[in-house]
Amino acid sequence: MNKKAIAVISFGTTYPKARLAIERIENSLKEAFPEYDFYRAFTSKMVINKIEREENIKILTPEQLMQKLLDDGYEEVLCQSLHIMAGFEYEKMLHQLFKFEDKFKKLSIGVPMLFSEYDYEHICSELMEHMPKLGQDEAYIYMGHGTEHFANSVYSQVENMFRYLGAENVYVGTVEGFPNLDYVIKRLNKHNIKKVTLAPFMIVAGDHAQNDLAGDEEDSWKSILQSQGYETNVNLIGLGDLDCVCDLYCRHAKMALER
């Protein structure tokens, strides 16, 4: 009898409460693939080391996990990425997994959250269902992580998809890329926005969401927008807490098995 495992691989987070969003997606995948034994891996060594140091919890890298599964006699492995885009962390994961592609009877890899046009339309339309009805002087602002990788273009595509679906006052900025907060503020000024709601466009509401987005320090997005006269609300819910995101990752995992 073939031993089968599902490896759910994410960047990870050092915030225990934020980690619940990852667990929610993991549980959805467990339910979708009951015949597979479940395993977790993180791609961020910084996160892995901090969790082990502060919580005494050992989480494996994708490469370490693949070696463990091989040693334990698994023949079929399904790996599902919980990354948002096919950027540096996703490529790092692939580099580690490809070392084992000829060592298992079957190794399947699910794509990240935003990969096809369907993914963008599905996520944006579902997120619109969770937004309050916006007045003409109100806007909803998502903060993404951002990256120097060319996959950073996903954030502009997300905003354009919102517009395509009729959500004109939804904007997307990033902490470490473009579009940034300056871009968002220019959009707010152009459309005479007075009131904004801030939310993370990230799987978990971790460090960036707690500090860069909603922190009380003067350089957080909330503080900067308040200093410029905007009435500001915050919705600190990670994308992993939403059913639509869990469903999408399950879809990607099923598609990976069919390829």
Q: Choose, from 95, 122, 130, 145, the residue flagged as catalytic.
A: 145
Q: Assess whether 145 carries a catalytic annotation.
A: yes
* 258-to-31, 43, 60, 172 alpha-carbon distances in Å: 18, 25, 27, 33
- Given a contact cutoff of 8 angstroms between Cβ atoms, the answer to whether 43 and 11 are in contact is yes
- Given a contact cutoff of 8 angstroms between Cβ atoms, the answer to whether 203 and 245 are in contact is yes
Greatest alpha-carbon span in the chain: 65
Q: Which residues contact 259 (CB under 8 A, 6 or more apart)?
A: 108
Q: What are the DSSP calls for 87-121, one per residue?
A: SHHHHHHHHHHGGGTTTSSEEEEE--SS-SHHHHH
* 218-to-24, 153, 171, 189 alpha-carbon distances in Å: 33, 28, 22, 20
Q: CA 160, CA 168: separation in Å to the nearest integer?
A: 9
Q: Shortest CA distance to 94 belongs to which of 107, 103, 106, 105?
A: 107
Q: CA 206, CA 16: separation in Å to the nearest integer?
A: 9
| Residues recognised as catalytic | 145
